[in-house]
A and B are shown apart, each in its own frame.
Chain A
Amino acid sequence: DAGVTQSPTHLIKTRGQQVTLRCSPISGHKSVSWYQQVLGQGPQFIFQYYEKEERGRGNFPDRFSARQFPNYSSELNVNALLLGDSALYLCASSLPGQGNEKLFFGSGTQLSVL
């Protein structure tokens, strides 16, 4: 079975640009979460979507937005990029409706903002 897949794997942008990152969850998983991981730190929660509805949002500015599609894939959008947005962006999926379900991560998209 395919795991969580993310695209692209690497991306280079300049300040002020906009970026869209994509994620396909594990088949059957309806919940998708996005995390930002700055070098040397643990992942930090950005968003969670479940059944196409936003279920939670972390402490990130409105420049960050996301959505989930009917097939449960998801996109993370970041507008007006700043140098500090350079990080590994991780997508994770989990099984639906089981409470403390395990979270499975993709390999991430490495975003560099120049």
Chain B
Amino acid sequence: GENVGLHLPTLSVQEGDNSIINCAYSNSASDYFIWYKQESGKGPQFIIDIRSNMDKRQGQRVTVLLNKTVKHLSLQIAATQPGDSAVYFCAENGSSGNTGKLIFGQGTTLQVKP
């Protein structure tokens, strides 16, 4: 079945360290992946996306890596700041190929210690 999952429910890091959040997906038909950040009381906020024809994409302080061989996605946050504390979700477009219909994982809570 279709599943997007995260390996760890909670990640605690020291301010200034790098964070790595992992995600596993099972639908080989997915060709578009997105990372969202969700703070308490807010909707998911777009962070970065990647298409299946790429294996790495960089943004401001964030990098997404895609390994299609093992169906693995990761989000790297450089120099983690207290404002990065939130729940992070990976999502895929599944066999529909339609990004209006995303499949989300359960999320990883990132806690940044000052």
Q: CB < 8 Å: which of A43, A104, A106 contacts B46?
A: A104
Q: CB < 8 Å: which of A4, A44, A56, A104 contacts B96?
A: A56
Please tell me the number of chain B residues within 8 Å of chain A, measured between CB atoms: 27
With contacts A33-B101, A45-B101, A106-B43 known, is A100 near B31, CB below 8 A?
yes
Whether B71 sits at the interface, judged by CB under 8 Å, is no
Rounded to whole Å, the gap between the CB of B113 and the closest CB of chain A is 22
With contacts A100-B31, A100-B49 known, is A45 near B103, CB below 8 A?
yes
Please tell me the number of chain A residues within 8 Å of chain B, measured between CB atoms: 27
CB atoms of B101 and A56 under 8 A apart? yes
CB atoms of B34 and A102 under 8 A apart? yes
Which residues in B have some Cβ–Cβ distance to A below 8 Å?
4, 31-32, 34, 36, 41-46, 49, 51, 89, 91, 93, 96, 98-107
With contacts A100-B51, A106-B43, A107-B42 known, is A44 near B104, CB below 8 A?
yes
Determine which residue in B41, B44, B103 has the highest number of CB atoms from chain A within 10 A of its CB, and name it. Answer: B44
A-B contact pairs, 15 of them (CB 8 A): A42-B4, A43-B89, A48-B101, A55-B101, A56-B100, A58-B101, A92-B100, A100-B51, A101-B99, A102-B34, A102-B46, A103-B34, A104-B46, A107-B41, A107-B43
Determine which residue in B4, B98, B100 has the highest number of CB atoms from chain A within 10 A of its CB, and name it. Answer: B100
Determine which residue in A31, A100, A107 has the highest number of CB atoms from chain B within 10 A of its CB, and name it. Answer: A100
CB atoms of B106 and A41 under 8 A apart? yes
With contacts A41-B106, A42-B89, A42-B106 known, is A100 near B41, CB below 8 A?
no
